[in-house]
Structure 1
Amino acid sequence: MGFTTGLLGGFTLTTTLLYLSLSLHARNRVHQAALLHQQSLILTNLVDPQPALPPPASREVRVGIWETAKDKWNARLESEVRRLQHMDWNEVRERMEEGVSSVYRRAFEKGREVIPDPPK
């Protein structure tokens, strides 16, 4: 092993060990600070309790125009299906029969007015 290779190898090893040590030390300090902060809050709340936080407000996420159109379509379809399920079909049939018979009656009455009766 040459002088340059040994020097670079030693420098790399020393730098790596120093970086890992400092990184581990910094993470430990951050963790200790979080623990101390948590313990401080616990002790403070024992002596002087904080008022309860209000429940978080519900948050609605706005959707696109396509989703809004689909929701409106589905709501309209659902209401129409419910209306059809609760409809009295006998009443509908009777109204249609009355309507058809009145149209039929008027058509034949007008036909009699237009066509004169045959002479006897």
Structure 2
Amino acid sequence: MGFTTGFLGGFTLTSSVLYLTVVLHQRNRLQQSLALRQSSLALGNIVEPQPTFVPPSARERHAGLAETAKDRWNGEVERFVKKAYEVDWSEVRDNAEAQVTNVWRRIVESANK
């Protein structure tokens, strides 16, 4: 085994051991961190328990005048938008063109008389 082969083999072995040591240390720190968080949460719940969930009461609050007006306004806007989507705009265009053509024809006929 030559110098270069021995040097590269030693470097590879040392690097591998160093990498595995760092990874092991990092995983141990993560496990310890998780254990400390769980312990802290458990101790905190003993001293100050988490509030229990209280379902909302059966009594309902009525909306005020402003909220009622907003709801009506939003309803009107929704109806307008739905109507705008349901309209066949090519038919509207054709009808408008026909009306403009009729008006123009009447103007031309009245000018020729």
- Per the shorter chain, which TM-score range? 0.3 to 0.5
TM-score between both structures, scaled by the size of structure 1: 0.43
- Larger of the two Rg values belongs to structure: 1
TM-score between both structures, scaled by the size of structure 2: 0.46
